[in-house]
Structures are given as C-alpha cells and as structure tokens.
Structure 1
Amino acid sequence: MDNLVALQRTLDDVTCYVLIAATLLYWVHAVFPKPAWVAEVGTAAVAIASLTSGSLLVARWIESGHPFPVSNLYESLFFLCWCLTFAQLCAEYLSRQKVMGLFTMPFATATAAFASFYLPAQLQVSAPLVPALDSNWLMLHVSVMVFSYGFLLAAGGTSMAYLWVTRKDKQVELKGNSIGSGGMRRVEKTPVRSSFTPAEEPVAVGGPSLSSAVVLSEEIAETPSLQALTLAETLDNVSYRLVGLGFPLLTVGIIAGAVWANEAWGSYWSWDPKETWALITWLVFAAYLHARLTKGWQGKRPAWLAVLGFSAVWVTYLGVNFLAQGLHSYGFFLKQ
C-alpha cells in the first residue's frame, strides 16, 4: 500500500505540471500561431494529463477498496480533472480545432492544483466511508454527476471560445438547425478573423451552405473572413454536441441521487443547497436545448446560456461547499 500511496503522490504532481504546460502551450499558440506544432504538443500534454489523472484514480481505487474513487473531495476533484481532459480531447476530435483549450485547460489546471496544493493533507488521504456514502449508489450517482459536469464545463469553455472568436463580429448570425445540417450563414458585415489560427483549415461540422447574397464568386468564398465564420459555426456546433452528451448524464445523476436520498434519508428531495443548485443547473441547460431545438437559436444567444450553465456547474459542484451546509455537508471542508 505504501507503494500505491507514493505512486499517487507522483501522479498527482505530474498531472498538475503537465496541465500547466498544456495551458501555456495553448495560450502561446493563440498569440504566436506559428509553428503549428505548439498546439499539437498542447494536445499531447492534455492526453498525458488524462492518462496520469486516470491512473491516479485507479491507484486510489485499489488502495481504498471503495466502490468508486469519488468518496472525498480530493478524489472527486481529480475525477473532474480527468473528465475535463477527456471532454477536451473529444471536442478537439469533433472539431479539429484547438481553441477550446484556451478556456477549458485553465480550469482543469486549477482543479488539479486546488486538490493537490490547497486541500489539507488529512483530506487527501483515503479514509473509511461515512455511513451516508457507504452504498452502491455512490458509483452511479456521484460518478455520473461528475462526468456530466466535465462535458457541460467543456461545452461552456467551447462557448467561451465561440464568443472570443466572434467578439468583433457584431452582425454575424448563424441560421439553420442546431445540428448543423443545412445550416445557413448570413453576413451583413465582413467579420474579422480570430487571432487564433488553427493548425489546419477549419471544418464546419454540418458543411457550408451560403446564400447567393454572400457568395458572389469563388474568390469571396475563399476569403479568411469566411474561414473565420466556419470556425465560429464549428465551435457553436461542438458546444451543442457536448451539452447533448452532458445533459442526459446530469438528468440520470439527479434521478439516481433522489433515489439514493430516499434510501438514506427517507426523502427523495429535501431542497438541500446542492440539490437546489443541481436543479438550477439542469434548468439552465434544459433552456439551452429547448432554445436550440424548438426556437432554432444558434450563435451568441445559446453561447451565453452555456456560459451561464458553466457558472452554475461550478456553484453546484464546489461553490455550495464554501457557502452553505446541508445534507451534503460531508463535502464542506472549511467548517474546520
């Protein structure tokens, strides 16, 4: 067991430092787009951090013998870190873009650093489960909730990247359905290309479909401004897909938590601060999906909703641990 503890400490440190390197590489590439391999190294660093954080959780799982390594805040933070890196890699695969890393990786780095350097030593070690957590529902509820947080936070980070890319494009509007098929783009004012230059030409997930008022010639269709628009459309689409993955998981996690609460406390819902904020988060992303699926929203309006949901996730996951106590007070570590 001593070897497993030492291995966890090493993996903890490696994860933190590799994530710091990945964050710096993404930001350096944003400022100095050439050479393109800088962003590729950043992606490799994210993959390494995903591997090391996952290995840390496996080592903790073996050492503790718990149903799943999310029994305290330290384990939960590193699980969220792993989920964020995994979601980042999925987003890059879907979009062939790196710009999301500018916004997701700083939060993944802060999560790992918070767990490693801020939490007291007694909260970082494995301990016997408290009675409320000694249940098979632990693996289903907590792991599904944290996994959903990872995808929803990545969606919020991707929406931040969309807003950053289109920060000067006051009159760019995306039109069409939410999954990108047959999407139309209207440009009333020539958009300014983002300062972030991807390593390869941006690819629109749904494929281009330009109105005759915009495409006057092949020369216009190949201008950098239209490439920037394609990048924005891709980010908008990837954010939607990440929410589409995270929202059902959040729903399943909340339902599983209600069943577990009834088993442990005799009530499905107690309006505990964490439960309340989980519901608020669910409502924000439900509004996001409703607006996209029924109202046809695309572009900046749903992006701001996703950013709001991004903030709500952090309050749900960590904020209420600082601000309130309740039935989930086992996660409240400042009371000491």
Structure 2
Amino acid sequence: MYTDTEKIFAYISLFMLFFTTLSEWVYSIGKSKKLERNFSHKSMVIAFACTTALMITRWIDSKHLPLSNLYESLIFISWSSSLIYFILALKDRDGWSSTVTASGATLIHGFATSGLPGGMERQTRLIPALQSHWLVMHVSMMSLSYATLLRGSLLAVSLSIIYSSSKKECSVLAFNRNTIHLISTWCIAQDFFKTIGTKNDTVKESFFQLFLNLGKYQLVNRMDQWIYQMISLGFSLLTIGILSGAVWANEAWGSYWSWDPKETWALVTRLIYATYIHARMANGWRGQVPAAIASIGFLLVWIRFLGVNLLGIGLHNYGWLV
C-alpha cells in the first residue's frame, strides 16, 4: 500500500530538497547575501519534517520500522543526509559541505520517489526471519553508515577535483605555514600601493593571487578534516551494523557469516575505509592520496547497496531491475 498522504509527503520533501540544493549552490558559488542560506535552511527544515512524517506514517501502518524494502531504505538515507546537513551547516562557513550533502540527499530522494520501478514503494510484510528486534539495530546502523560514508566520500570526490584543478598552479599543494607570514605584508603594502598607483599592477596581482591561494588552502584543510570526521563516524556505524548483522544471521540462519554478496561487499567496503583511516592516523597522510582512497569508497558503497540489491542476488536483496 502506498497512500496519497505518503505520496504528498514524499514529493513535498523532494521539492524542498531541490530548492535547498539550488540555494546552496547559489550561496557557495556567488557568495551572495545570507538570504539564500536562510532560504535553504528553512527549505531543509520542511523537507526533513515531511520525510519524518512519511516514515512515521509508514511505521504506524506497517507496525515495524520502515526499512523493509529498497524504497524505505533510500528514504531513510535521504532523511539521515538531511540530519547530517544540519550538523555540517553549524560549522560550514563556505557552504561547500552543505551543498554537497544537500545535493546527495536530493539525488537519493529523487531516485527513491521517481526512479524505482513501479510498485517498489509499496509496503511489504516482513518474513518471519526478519521479525526480530535486531532489525532496528542492524538495518538502521547500516543505513546511517551509508549516509555518513557517502557524504564523506562525496566531499572526498570534491576535494580530488580541487587538487586536480590546482596541479598547474602553486596552489594548495605547495602552500605552507611560512606563506601565511607573507600575508601580514599586505597591510603594510596598502599605503605603498596607493603611492605607486597603477605602475606596479603585477605586484598587486601577485598579492591578490596569494590571497586566493590562502583561501583555497583553508578550504582544503577544512574539507580534509570534514572528510576524516565523517568517514570515521561512518566506519564505526558500519562496524556496528556488520557485527549486529552477524548475530542476527546466526539467530535466523544458523551462521554468523555466509559470504552472501552483500556481506562480501560490506567487508570490502570496510577494508577500503579502514585503509583511509589508517593512512590518516598512522602515516599522517593528507591531501590527494587519502582523498582518492575515500573516493573509491563512494563507488563501493553504491555497489554494496544498489548493485547487489537490484540484481536480486543473495539473502539481502530488496528487488531487481532484470
């Protein structure tokens, strides 16, 4: 069953997420007034409220947590992404992390609402093996880990693009703390520039580029830290989800681990993110290489979540396209 009320909540959420994403892009690229940012925050509040209402409605109707099929899982990930948006918005001065998060939430919600084959949004009865208290722990932890890891990996993809676009410049790759001391000379140079007029435009341009480089350096550092925090949180949630799933599998099927396709890809995904975290913690790596590793995780999460599901393989599939 897919009621008109649920459909209204779903489409209002989608439209509000779209407006949020559009406003965030305008704010991030144009650096305009706070009007766009305030509008995006209010739109996201409406989207979050409608998505929450949609999930509660389905929970009441089905008498279980609405995570029993692909549609409900996608909606939950979209809802989790909206929650992450509010957390990031508190510390995001440039707007880029909020922009990436809002864009991801919009695409996921749009795919759930308009991209799935007909009938997949209908509520389904849980089979006896799934009627367990482990449903809430395992599925919610896995879905939250997807949302968190996808946000971190999307930021890593964005960071990789910044690095790639900066290869031909001094840019962030060569910027260091000693360069920051040069910025103090700008204040002293102001009076000097007023005196020399336009005869030394090259010097002025050099200082201008230095400031641009400083801004990019600060943005990259913030994004690198956000990526590390998001992936660390997502990695912990993924670990809890895998362990709780193993216990549940033993209760339902008599085996903690059966090398089901989803189990296998979950292990591969965890190993990739473990490599990223190890590189950051043990080796102190920052920059392009860790960002590239985290970007690979983005693909693996989608293979694990959608690729296996939509082919109808294994015990964890929600449906198929073929």
How would you bin the TM-score normalised by the shorter chain?
0.7 to 0.9
Measured in 1, the distance between the counterparts of 2:311 and 2:55 equals 28
Deviations 1:104-149 (A, max 9, x none): 3333222212222233453222232122321111111000100011
In structure 1, which of residues 283, 291, 306 is the aligned counterpart of residue 271 of structure 2? 283
**When the two structures are superposed, what TM-score results if normalisation uses the length of structure 1?**
0.81
In structure 1, which of residues 207, 216, 234 is the aligned counterpart of residue 182 of structure 2? 216
Contact kept? 2:183, 2:211, Cα under 8 Å = no
- Counterparts of residues 27-66 of structure 1 (less than 5 Å): 27-66=25-64
Q: Give 1:96 deviation, angstroms.
A: 2.9
In structure 2, which of residues 305, 312, 319 is the aligned counterpart of residue 332 of structure 1? 319
Measured in 2, the distance between the counterparts of 1:169 and 1:312 equals 27
Contact kept? 2:156, 2:295, Cα under 8 Å = yes
Q: Give 1:31 deviation, angstroms.
A: 4.2
Contact kept? 1:95, 1:235, Cα under 8 Å = no
What residue ranges of structure 1 are gaps of 5+ in the alignment? 173-188, 193-208
Measured in 2, the distance between the counterparts of 1:238 and 1:109 equals 20
One-letter amino acid of the counterpart of residue 212, structure 1: N
Could you say if the C-alpha distance between residues 225 and 244 of structure 1 is closer, same or farther in structure 2, counting changes exceeding 3 Å? same
Contact kept? 2:9, 2:54, Cα under 8 Å = yes
What residue ranges of structure 2 are gaps of 5+ in the alignment? 188-209
Contact kept? 2:71, 2:121, Cα under 8 Å = yes
Query: 1:16: which partner in 2?
Result: 14
Measured in 1, the distance between the counterparts of 2:92 and 2:28 equals 17
Measured in 1, the distance between the counterparts of 2:186 and 2:305 equals 47
- Computing the radius of gyration from Cα coordinates, the structure with the larger value is 2
**When the two structures are superposed, what TM-score results if normalisation uses the length of structure 2?**
0.84
Query: 2:283: which partner in 1?
Result: 295
Measured in 1, the distance between the counterparts of 2:83 and 2:168 equals 34
Give the structure with the larger helix fraction: 2
Contact kept? 2:104, 2:151, Cα under 8 Å = no
- Counterparts of residues 167-246 of structure 1 (less than 5 Å): 167-170=164-167, 189-191=170-172, 211-212=177-178, 214-219=180-185, 223-246=211-234
One-letter amino acid of the counterpart of residue 151, structure 2: A
CA root-mean-square deviation? 2.6
1:160 aligns with 2:157: yes
Query: 1:202: which partner in 2?
Result: none
Query: 2:249: which partner in 1?
Result: 261
Could you say if the C-alpha distance between residues 73 and 217 of structure 1 is closer, same or farther in structure 2, counting changes exceeding 3 Å? closer
Percent of aligned pairs sharing the same letter: 36
One-letter amino acid of the counterpart of residue 126, structure 1: Q
Could you say if the C-alpha distance between residues 169 and 35 of structure 1 is closer, same or farther in structure 2, counting changes exceeding 3 Å? same
